């Protein structure tokens, strides 16, 4: 259980907490939007920002857990938004936040793609990014690779749901996402994004890199590294 704090520190990465601390302590941020912040961390980064820094904000996810719902009910500083942050209506709800949290989500974004997500949320003064970055020469759509190369470069087995038979059904409708094919759902790894592509897209939106850390190789994958960034206007 979370004990006296509204988050379990054991679920959270220190490099992400350092980004949050930097945004709120060095750049006088007050509000945030945490996009896709439930999976595996139970909204921990939102509740950390609220409890440590007195911040208010929105926690956005398509699948909030019961634990997150219960904690959010006790922490009115964090407004829970159930929905896809690729939905323009959701983007409108959370517009105006000082800081955007994009932790482990950009590589999953399709329709809208990761760069379109950045444009949708470019009203934020500061963006915190922790993403598995591609070390190859160019950004690639992973589902355009061969099946063998796809599984060489993603941390999943061929027999692991939802990856089992993925390449046999890439262009078939997904049963839980009306109008989307399996190729177009965020539940599977979608992109290998290079730092050059990411920072170029952010530069075009008026952001400049203020902090960068190479947090090391992602698991055993040969072409992915965890990179932490703070950019601001």
Residue 1 binned pLDDT confidence (cut-offs 50, 70, 90): very low
Residues 78-105 pLDDT 10s: 999 999 999 999 999 999 999 999 999 9
The answer, as to whether pTM is greater than 0.85, is: yes
What is the arithmetic mean of pLDDT over 152-158?
A: 94
Q: Does position 3 have pLDDT exceeding 60, yes or no?
A: no
Residues 23-36 pLDDT 10s: 999 999 999 999 99
Per-residue pLDDT at 2 = 46
Q: Does position 178 have pLDDT exceeding 90, yes or no?
A: no
HSE, side-chain direction, 13 A CA sphere, residue 37: 32
Cα–Cα distance measured from residue 156 to residue 13, given in angstroms and rounded to the nearest whole number: 21
Q: Does position 230 have pLDDT exceeding 80, yes or no?
A: yes
- Of 215, 127, 142, the C-alpha closest to 118 is 127
Cα–Cα distance measured from residue 108 to residue 132, given in angstroms and rounded to the nearest whole number: 10
Domains of the chain, each with CATH number or no CATH = 9-133+190-232 (3.40.50.150)
Per-residue pLDDT at 70 = 96
Give the containing element (helix H, strand E) for 197. helix 195-204
Cα–Cα distance measured from residue 118 to residue 114, given in angstroms and rounded to the nearest whole number: 7
């Amino acid at each position: 259980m979370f004990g006296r704090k509204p988050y379990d520190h054991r679920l959270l990465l220190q490099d992400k907490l350092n980004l949050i601390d930097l945004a709120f302590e060095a750049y006088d941020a007050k509000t945030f939007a945490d996009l896709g912040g439930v999976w595996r961390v139970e909204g921990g980064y939102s509740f950390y920002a609220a409890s440590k820094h007195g911040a208010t904000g929105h926690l956005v996810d398509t699948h909030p857990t019961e634990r997150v719902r219960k904690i959010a009910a006790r922490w009115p500083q964090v407004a829970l938004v159930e929905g896809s942050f690729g939905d323009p209506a959701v983007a409108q709800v959370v517009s105006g936040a000082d800081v955007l949290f994009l932790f482990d989500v950009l590589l999953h974004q399709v329709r809208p793609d990761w760069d379109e997500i950045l444009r949708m949320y470019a009203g934020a003064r500061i963006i915190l990014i922790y993403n598995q970055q591609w070390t190859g020469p160019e950004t690639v759509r992973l589902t355009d690779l061969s099946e063998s190369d796809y599984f060489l470069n993603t941390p999943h087995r061929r027999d692991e749901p939802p990856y089992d038979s993925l390449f046999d059904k890439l262009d078939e409708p997904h049963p839980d996402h009306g109008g989307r094919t399996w190729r177009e759902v965020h539940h599977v790894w979608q992109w290998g994004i290079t730092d050059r592509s990411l920072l170029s897209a952010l530069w075009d939106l008026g952001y400049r890199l203020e902090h960068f850390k190479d947090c090391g190789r992602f698991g055993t994958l040969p072409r992915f590294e965890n990179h932490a960034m703070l950019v601001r206007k």
